[in-house]
Amino acid sequence: MCPDASLAPDLNALIDRYEERDELMALLERGRPALALLTGRRRVGKTYLLMNTWPADELFLFTAARTTPALNRQQLLADLAAWVGEPLSAADYPTWRTVFRLLTDVAQRRAMHVPPRPTVVVIDEFQYLADGEAGVAEVASELNAVWERKGAHARRGHTPLLMVLSGSAVSTMEALASGGAPLYGRFAWQHKLEPFTYWHAGELASFEALRDRALAYAVFGGTPRYLAAIRRSHSLARNVTDLLLSPRGEVRQLVETALEQEEGLRDAGRYRAVLRAVADGCTERNEIAQRTGLPNDQALREKLSTLIELGYLEQRRNIDAKGNEPVRYGIADAAFRFYYKFVAPNASMLERYPASLLWKTKVAPALDTYMGMAFERMVTQAYDRRALSLDLPAVQRWGRWEGQDRARASLEIDVVARLTDDRMMTGAIKWNRAPAAVDVHLDHLEMLRRAADAGRAWAHAALDISSPLLYVSASGFARGFRKKAEAGGRAVTCWSLDDMYAK
């Protein structure tokens, strides 16, 4: 549906998406026809961005529904008729080619006004205009035919027209711009919208206590739709209880129906089983197969790849892993990780007892331990955000390392990052409630020595005095920590939560 023409975009309502907004606005200001492609998973804020970039009298936005192409075409024409204020008969526009021609005609007529009136046409969930990828390619071909003829004519004049194709079926949408596709080479702008980082998530989950703000990111993640449900006047505990633990929780229902909403994803139950297994600690493919009862075959590999593409899973490998070493999987989406860690296993309890009981007995006591992996992700985001302003060395590749020393004792190093100058930066990340003692530094150096003795080349490099150290402690550091860590002239970065949330 198109927005009310009396409404102007609320530019102050946007969070983080300023570069995307400015680039899209610049395309329209060029004064000639342009195509743009915006993709991203569901509820990441694509439509919100597009509705808050231009005034409603410049923007015609149509969101296709998961119905037949004919019904979508009829609805688009009905919405366009309301927007331009003139009747349009569906019988006069029986194909997508005729519809696209009409849209360019509308833009050219508006350009002839004095002064010229810019036109932005957004077709949201473009993949629903046809059945399947082959059908979408046919619709794109129809658009290309019109764009070639009408667009060439319009470019000779002054026609401020921007057409944005947007959709959540990321692979299908990105295929529109791939080599050999009808619209290949036609897009003046292409972008995949990602979830918020911890920093921008904190603008929605803006709890006064930074610890609560960080925990909110670990629970709700960076999906704007989930974060928008948070009520700032309520405590973190009440928000989690009401939104994610309760059987009627708004975010819980969004998470539970997310897989069914993904285009082309059949048998969502098996995908949920995979996510549950990974959340339970089955990080390798064979373990996932055994836990779920699914065959360890090509079909399982494809499910894992699909979940990675959709942003629900991620691959985790040691920074020096060889090609034949098993890939480990982890939950990439924080809200899903929380759901499968605390909600799904306790669904029966949540049906019988108040959600506040689960928070008190199982969630709150485990939350600090649960926070560990999420805090490591936050640290990498914080470092990348502040590196330029603080003149910190740039990171080529972030990683961590888990393994054994020569005596087969376990080693776990939180930060193992290769810098752009090929030095190694290592360190420790602690989600703690007391200042980190000097032992954190000494233990880290000892683990580096044990890893180096076990033949790890990166550890040898990390022990060199020229290799910097990164220590992050949620509650800061004990007196003397930095002086000890900097002994010998090594560059050391020590951050608390205050440093991570500094502007």
Q: What is the pLDDT of residue 183?
A: 93
Q: What is the pLDDT of residue 116?
A: 80
Domain end point (choices 370, 404, 429): 370
Domain end point (choices 192, 221, 249): 192
Q: What is the pLDDT of residue 114?
A: 74
The answer to whether residues 365 and 401 belong to one domain is: no
Q: What is the pLDDT of residue 14?
A: 86
Q: What is the pLDDT of residue 305?
A: 92
Q: What is the mean pLDDT of residues 291-315?
A: 93
Secondary structure string (H, E, C) spanning 435-455? CECCHHHHHHHHHHHHHHHCC
The answer to whether residues 170 and 219 belong to one domain is: no
Q: What is the pLDDT of residue 248?
A: 95
Q: What is the pLDDT of residue 153?
A: 52
The answer to whether residues 259 and 171 belong to one domain is: no
Among 45-49, 152-156, 215-219, 308-312, where is mean pLDDT lowest?
Answer: 152-156
Q: Report if residue 6 sits inside a domain.
A: no
Q: What is the mean pLDDT of residues 360-372?
A: 94
The answer to whether residues 268 and 394 belong to one domain is: no
Q: What is the mean pLDDT of residues 239-263?
A: 93
| CA–CA dist 164, 123 (Å, integer) | 6
pTM of the model: 0.89
Q: Report if residue 143 sits inside a domain.
A: yes
The answer to whether residues 327 and 273 belong to one domain is: yes
pLDDT above 50 for 77? yes
Q: What's the pLDDT tens digit per position in 373-416?
A: 899 999 999 999 999 999 999 999 999 999 999 999 999 999 99
Q: What is the pLDDT of residue 151?
A: 55
Q: Is 267 helix (H, G, I), strand (E, B) or coil?
A: coil
C-alpha 495, offset from chain centre: 25
pLDDT above 90 for 336? yes
Residue 182, domain extent: 11-192
What is the percent of the chain where pLDDT is above 70?
A: 96
pLDDT above 90 for 267? no
| CA–CA dist 380, 47 (Å, integer) | 28
Residue 176 CB-half CA count within 13 A: 32
- What CATH number is given to the structural domain containing 18? 3.40.50.300
Q: Report if residue 481 sits inside a domain.
A: yes
Q: What is the mean pLDDT of residues 10-18?
A: 77
Q: Report if residue 375 sits inside a domain.
A: no
Q: Report if residue 2 sits inside a domain.
A: no
Residue 266: pLDDT band (50, 70, 90) is confident
Secondary structure string (H, E, C) spanning 139-206? HHHHHHHHHHHHHHHHHHCCCCEEEEEEECCHHHHHHHHCCCCCCCCCEEEEEECCCCCHHHHHHHCC
Q: Report if residue 379 sits inside a domain.
A: no
| CA–CA dist 219, 359 (Å, integer) | 13
- What CATH number is given to the structural domain containing 348? 1.10.10.10
Tell me the average pLDDT of the chain: 92
The answer to whether residues 312 and 163 belong to one domain is: no
| Domains of the chain: total | 3
pLDDT above 90 for 474? yes
Q: What is the pLDDT of residue 1?
A: 39
Q: Report if residue 75 sits inside a domain.
A: yes
Q: What is the mean pLDDT of residues 158-168?
A: 90
Q: What is the pLDDT of residue 156?
A: 47
The answer to whether residues 214 and 327 belong to one domain is: yes
Q: Report if residue 433 sits inside a domain.
A: yes
Domain end point (choices 192, 211, 239): 192
Q: What is the pLDDT of residue 488?
A: 79
The answer to whether residues 77 and 137 belong to one domain is: yes
pLDDT above 80 for 10? no
Written as six digits, the tokens of 185 are 């080479």
The answer to whether residues 230 and 187 belong to one domain is: no
The answer to whether residues 355 and 398 belong to one domain is: no
The answer to whether residues 182 and 76 belong to one domain is: yes
Residue 237: pLDDT band (50, 70, 90) is very high
The answer to whether residues 107 and 36 belong to one domain is: yes
CB 217 within 8 A of CB 198: yes
pLDDT above 70 for 430? yes
> Rg of the chain over CA atoms, in angstroms?
26
